[in-house]
Amino acid sequence: MNIYIGYLIAALIVTQKSFLVKNVDIGFWLLFVFSIIYAAFFSFDPKAGNQYIVIYAIVPGAFYLLGKFFAEKLNSNQTNLVLLLLISAVIFSITAVLSVFTDILQNGYNVVDRNLPNYWTGNIVPATIMGSYFTLIMTLPALLVPHFKKLPFVTKILLLVYYAIAMACILRIGSRTQISISLIALLVSLIYVMPRQSFRRNLIMFLLFFLGIFYIINSVSFDLDQDWLSAFANRMEDSQDLASGGGRTDRWIKSMEYLFTKPLGWSEHEFGHAHNLWFDVLRIGGFLSFFFLLFFTTKSYLTVFKAIKKKKEAYAFNNQIIVFTLGFSLVFMVEPILEGMFDFFAFFCFFIGVVKKYSTDNPVIE
């Protein structure tokens, strides 16, 4: 439901002629051409519904411009952008948190089935799709590593509480991907932020971190036979599935072969989803969609790099850009995205729009 509010706002953005003249750029055109081609191929077999032909064609570019629009209204101020992205991440995750946490309150962790009903509609949502809404919330500990004066202490505590609730939800749906994102994001954040902070700040941070770990280890049982770890334990028991990325690596290799043997795409019946944003786009939209998406995402990563490089002393905001990009990318690598997680891709386009506007308004001075 949250994303439909964004659709409405995005529709209003495209009516602003003066804004469009200033902000339509190469990134937008790459995204727009990709969207049109992908929607055209999707129209031959619109399994999700004919309405998605229009959605696939228009929404990515509209959300890219929406990100630019908000950044412009906030004057690309770093403090305001940090808060914008934080609030957006929380809003994006609310439905998933309500859905899973309500199930925990009603049924506990005894039910092994990972697919749960949507809080608003009651429709069953696959655990993989549900987990994607938690991605940016899983980066919250990493976001709180650097000192950010404008973020009140009470707000930081509330964010950590929200993260703890989200982690409880992740354990309920047994998402290894989300736990990995949380750990990797925290590690990357520490590596990036520590050299830029004072020794005193780093010392206090590590003391609090190890005290927290010590308390958790001595207070919580991590026996996989515990009810609260039942869904997660079932997934960890399959070591072969874990080693092969759930069979994904074989599908990626097959997709690379089909890029040359079936460049116009292939049926899902061949070997199912490729579980990769780019390869699943190749399967449905053919090589043109694949390459235009590859060009757009490559340009997006270059935009992220330039934004980080442009003002190195703004390491709190740079850290947020890094861990959000990391979270998006890790999910892109292991899930089909546009089939079932289209909201997630739309949010990525919004995020890149924000970063692009910030980078353009404050260009790197060589």
Note whether residue 240 is domain-resident: yes
Q: d(Cα 250, Cα 273) in Å, to the nearest integer?
A: 11
Note whether residue 35 is domain-resident: yes
Note whether residue 127 is domain-resident: yes
pLDDT of residue 98: 97
| 3-state SS assignment for residue 44 | coil
pLDDT of residue 8: 61
Residue 363: pLDDT over 60? no
Q: What is the span of the domain harbouring residue 298?
A: 2-355
Note whether residue 361 is domain-resident: no
DSSP structural state of residue 124: E
Note whether residue 366 is domain-resident: no
| Tokens 């892109």 belong to residue | 332
pLDDT of residue 2: 46
pLDDT of residue 46: 76
The pLDDT tens digits for 277-300 are 999 999 999 999 999 999 999 999
pLDDT of residue 322: 97
Taking residues 11-36, what's their average pLDDT? 84
pLDDT of residue 206: 81
DSSP structural state of residue 229: G
The pLDDT tens digits for 224-265 are 555 556 655 565 555 455 445 567 888 999 999 999 999 999
Q: Structurally, how many domains does the chain consist of?
A: 1
Mean of per-residue pLDDT scores for the chain: 86
DSSP structural state of residue 194: G
Q: What is the DSSP string of 204-222?
A: HHHHHHHHHHHHHHHHS--
Note whether residue 83 is domain-resident: yes
Q: Which of 172, 125, 115, 106 is nearest to 344 (CA)?
A: 125
Residues in the chain: 366
The pLDDT tens digits for 268-277 are 888 888 899 9
